[in-house]
Chains A and B, each alone.
Chain A
Amino acid sequence: AQTVTQSQPEMSVQEAETVTLSCTYDTSESDYYLFWYKQPPSRQMILVIRQEAYKQQNATENRFSVNFQKAAKSFSLKISDSQLGDAAMYFCAYRTLNTGNQFYFGTGTSLTVIP
């Protein structure tokens, strides 16, 4: 099974500053999808950004962007101009294209935004 690793259990950032959350994964598949989800205290899972593995161009979504390094199996999330509402748990997720199309989640990074 695929494994997803987030090596930073907790991170903090000053409001308006930039922060990068790390994610690495292990897979033998050549094609797959990667996602970042945000889980605020309400515990609702909110999609932040997605990346197709076959695309070399890094995905961007407003203040959120990724640095996808396929060879290194790395998928980091950069949050620019951090806002108080960005405070949440962030989960990196891998989606297989095999039967079932399951998601595999990392252990999460708790992001604190300091006013």
Chain B
Amino acid sequence: GAVVSQHPSWVICKSGTSVKIECRSLDFQATTMFWYRQFPKQSLMLMATSNEGSKATYEQGVEKDKFLINHASLTLSTLTVTSAHPEDSSFYICSARDRRGQYNQPQHFGDGTRLSIL
């Protein structure tokens, strides 16, 4: 089945550091990828929609300059948390939609990245 690889799975870094998270579709092309944030015991909150070759669409309340998204190819989207602070600590999950997919097809999720800012 379709696989989405997310890397790294866990990162711990100091406050003020920028952290890049990668989301790759391994066996399909994804014109659209989605980035979610999930706090403990809470739901997935859509942060932004990443479109290949164009600017990402951010949800209301998400800082574009804080969470930089790049979707440079049909199989890779990256999320960079710039100048991360402890309040950015969270679980980040990406998902991808097969460009050939019909609307009833589910998104394929990565396994998530646990980000801890000290």
Contact = CB atoms under 8 A, between A and B. Distances in A.
Same assembly: yes
Interface of A: 33, 35, 37, 42-45, 47, 50, 52, 89, 91, 95, 97, 100-108, 110
Interface string B34-75: 100010011111100100000001000000000000000000
Contact of A43 (B32, B34, B45, B112): B112
Contact of B104 (A43, A52, A89): A52
A25 to B, nearest CB: 13
B111 interface: yes
B44 A43 contact: no
Give chain A's interface secondary structure class. Answer: strand
Interface in B61-100: 91, 93, 95, 97
A91 B107 CA distance: 14
B43 A91 contact: yes
Interface residues of B, number: 22
Contacts of A101: 32, 97, 103
A44 B111 contact: yes
10 contacts: A33-B103, A43-B111, A44-B112, A50-B106, A97-B103, A101-B97, A103-B34, A105-B43, A107-B42, A108-B43
Nearest to B101: A101
B112 A91 contact: no
A41 to B, nearest CB: 12
A95 to B, nearest CB: 7
Given A100-B49, A101-B32, A101-B97, A106 B106 contact: no
Given A43-B91, A44-B112, A45-B93, A102 B49 contact: yes
Contact of B106 (A47, A102, A108): A47
A46 B76 CA distance: 21
A97 B101 CA distance: 12
A44 B95 CA distance: 11
